[in-house]
Every structure is written in structure tokens, then in C-alpha cells.
Amino acid sequence: MQGRQARHQVRPEVGLPITYALSLLAPLALGCQGMNTPIYFASPEPILAVTGANDAMGNPPRIENGMTLQFRNPTDAEQKALDMQTAALGFDAPWIQRDHVHIELTYQVTYTPLPNQGPDDNPNDIPQFTIGVDGANQYTKYDSNIVAMTLSQGNNDAPQYIPLIPVTPQTIAQGQTISGTVREDDFNEAELDLDAIGRWMAPFNAVLINNSQVNPIGLSMVPANVVIPALIEIDVSFTANRNMKCTYDIRVRDDNDQLLHDTTNTLFSPTPTLFVPPAMM
Amino acid sequence: MAALVTSWLVAGASAARAQVTAEPSAVVFPDPAKFAHGLYTEGEVGAVAFFGKAGDAVSPGFAIGARVGYDLFRWFALQLHFVGSTHQLTGDNPLNGQLLQTYQGLIEGKLTYRFGQTSIFGEGGVGVERLSTNALYALGIEPRYRVGFVAGGGAGLDYHSLSRHFSVGVRGGFFVMAELTSSQELMATTYLRYTF
């Protein structure tokens, strides 16, 4: 009886503990709001693997694979908004925009020496690998192989690959595994460069070699209010001078839920134009 | 000399008191019957660890949660349990270092046995769990999955303070997730409970 009386007495104080208790749920509620809900895509099979043996031309082996991110078509309301945005800009507003689709690539390279291979003690032949990323947006596809063919026309020099995103060559020891990340800001730069090349007549070598935030050379034709398309295709090339394999995952943050995962939606299937350097045209 | 010793003993003797002829009635302090019961809330912090396949790729992580429940009897309660935990992916894969969160909501039953200020309890329930990403699917560890059913239970030890409202305790639980066919999770938390 005493207990019941006391319980009635504390009721005016009930609000504060309830507030405290509910405040504990706040992190859960925030966590469920899609603040950190990336979607991962595993690298396609077969994985990138080379033995390190040079090709017939004496060049290090180079292997590639890639994936196309599948997006849905816009709804009627979204298409209407897109059309309004296009009218306001005065040029085409892409459906898959860089501001709403954020891409990151994480990779892992492992060097497994061949059974009869000795130590890597030649300072002029250090085990190393190189990764490059090409791709396509909904308007333009960039392939560094095409560019390399252009640059090598008329000479017998080794192909010079200029990927959309170059990853600094790294040395690696026998049995070692190296992990790395091509960050979202790397993709942001590549997406700007590709749009500049494809839609705004920018010289491809100038914009690819220079970081636009340091030296915006070649970007003079790009409108200040440009809406940059995101990559919808990601192609990864791997070069190594030893027996190595590379696995990677693509991480996508899809702000507007544009990735195709609802069976009632239809696939957005643009046909980007392959970029061909002027010398080959 | 004998007279001197005798007089000293008599003078130094303490006063006589009435003899106790029966045992005093037991006094229980504090009286558990005076502890508040009924609606209660709990806030908890602790850790969640995955076992099975996911245990190789997901590190143990920090967990924070809350419960809202009602004591139907002194020994039985129903409660809603919400808990979230954050983890880092580990292992020999490209996603090493990426973050993964889990969110769970369960409805649970709780049985309590109290002795004095201390009680032990067992609890169990079913609910829904959501993973923040599809990382486990991308790694080929588990089938495509983001949301699924979860079931499990555990036990704990509760210590009631001298306040009639507050108690603290520790608990552990083991949960299986219907869609993570090869993985389970172990949860250990400490909590603060307020009973209204």
C-alpha cells in the first residue's frame, strides 16, 4: 500500500525519465534514415589476375573487367522535373547526376610468387602493379585502350594508357596484400573530366592529366552551372609484372534511390557514345 | 584480599537486563515489495559480436539500445527492445575497414526471480533486424539480405538500488537471424533501469 501511494506521488516526474528513455532511441532513428546505407557491388568474375609474363610486344600484362550500374528510368514526375531543369539550364540535365550518386572503389592486390620463383632482388625489376579506372556516363564512354591506340599510331612505342582515374603504381613484396581506395572525390574529378570531354569539347589529355581544383585547364567551355552526370559504367584495368590478383568492390551511395531494385521499374539503358580522340576521327 | 577482589567484581559488573526468550521477527531491508513495478524503461550500452560465417568478416561492435516494458507480475514482464550496433568489416577482402550497422527491434518476455536487492532473469523474443548495407552479400558470405526476422534470448543479473525506481544490471543474449543462415550474434550489455 505504501508503495502504491509513493508511485502516485512520483507521477508528475514521469515526463523527464520518458524523455531520457526516448532520447536513447534517437541514434537508432538517425541510423535508419539512410545516412550511411551504401550498396556494394562485388567485382565481376573472373577476377583480375596476371602471371606477370610480358606480352608478345614485351609489355607488362594488362587485364580488364568492369560493371554497369543498373539504374531505373525516371517516373513521370521525375521526368517532368528533369525536363524543367533542362529548360532552366539551357542544356540537357542528366538523369543520373554526380550530386546524387556517389561512387567509391576499394581494391585488394595480392602477390603470390610462382612455385619456382626466386627472391625479388633485382633493383631494376621491382614487383609492382598499376590500377586504372575508365567508365561511361549516360552520354559518353571513355576507354583508355582507344586512347592508347591513338597515341601509339605511327610509332612502335609501348602503349601509353591514360585512364580516367589513375591509381599511383605501388610496389609489393612476395606474399604481401595491399588494399586501397579510389575515393568519392577521385570519382567526382573523373566525372567532371568525362563530361567535359564528351559534352563540352575539352581536350582529353589536358583535363585528365590536370586536377581541376589545381589547374582547370581545358574546362573553359564547361558552363558554370553544369549538372555533371555520374558514371554508370566502371571499367577497371590491372597491370602487374608478377603473379598477382586484384579484387575490388564498388560502393555506391544512392541518395535518390535510383538504382534498379524494384521489379516494377524499368531499366534505364542509355547508349553512351564512345569517345574517340581527334587523331582517329 | 578476597574481600577486595569480591568488592571489585561486584562494583564492576554491568547492569542486569531482561532475558530474551524469543527470536526477534526477521526484518527484510530493503523490502522488495516496496520496489516500484509496472511500466519501466531501460537504457543499455555494450557490445555485439557476430559468430559463424559473418564472424570472420565483421568485427565486434559497440551497441546502444533501449527497452520499454511492463511488469504484468513481479516475476513476468513484456517489453519492447530496440538496439543498434556498429561494426567494422575485417578479413582478407576489399571491404576491410568499411562500416556496417545493425538495427534490431524485438518483443520479448522476461521472467524474474528476486532475492533481496538482487534478481536474476531470463528473457527471449522475436523481432526484425536490418543491416545498413548489403556488404555481407557483396562478400559472398550470406544471401542477398537487408531486413529479416531475428529471434533469441538471454539472461542477466539485476541489482536494485535503495531508490525504489532505479536498478542496474548486466545481461547477455544470443540471437539468430533467419536470413543469415550461417551467422549468429552474441550481445552483452549493461543497463540502467527506471521503473515508474
pLDDT value of residue B18: 62
Which of A6, A43, A107 minimises the CB distance to B164? A6
| CATH number belonging to domain B42-195 | 2.40.160.20
Q: In Å, how far is B67's CA from the nearest CA of chain A?
A: 8
Check A20 against B135: CB less than 8 A apart: no
Residue of B nearest to A11 (CA): B196
DSSP at A1:
-
Residue of B nearest to A179 (CA): B94
* pLDDT < 50 positions in chain A: 1-12, 14, 31-34, 281
- B14 has pLDDT over 90: no
CB neighbours of residue A73 within 10 Å: 14
Domain ranges of chain B: 42-195
Residue B135 forms contact with A (CB below 8 Å)? yes
> What's the predicted TM-score (pTM) here?
0.79
Residue A176 forms contact with B (CB below 8 Å)? no
What is the average per-residue pLDDT within B86-93?
92
The interface predicted TM-score (ipTM) is 0.73
pLDDT value of residue B107: 97
Which of B41, B96, B164 minimises the CB distance to A21? B41
CB neighbours of residue A103 within 10 Å: 27
How many beta-carbon pairs below 8 A join chains A and B?
95
pLDDT value of residue B34: 87
Sort A196 into a burial class: Cβ within 10 Å, 0-12 / 13-18 / 19+: buried
Question: Do residues A69 and A233 touch, judged by C-beta distance below 8 A?
Answer: yes
Half-sphere exposure of residue B176, counting CA atoms within 13 Å on the CB side?
4
pLDDT tens across A140-192, in order?
999 999 999 888 887 778 888 999 999 989 999 999 999 999 999 999 999 99
Alpha-carbon distance B58 to B100, whole Å? 8
Check A40 against B68: CB less than 8 A apart: no
Q: In Å, how far is B153's CA from the nearest CA of chain A?
A: 21
pLDDT tens across B159-195, in order?
999 999 999 999 999 998 877 766 789 999 999 999 9
Q: Can you read off the three cell numbers belonging to residue A123?
A: 633493383
pLDDT value of residue A121: 85
pLDDT value of residue A11: 45
Residue B117 forms contact with A (CB below 8 Å)? no
Chain A residues close to B135, C-beta within 8 Å? 40
pLDDT value of residue A25: 54
Residue of B nearest to A261 (CA): B144
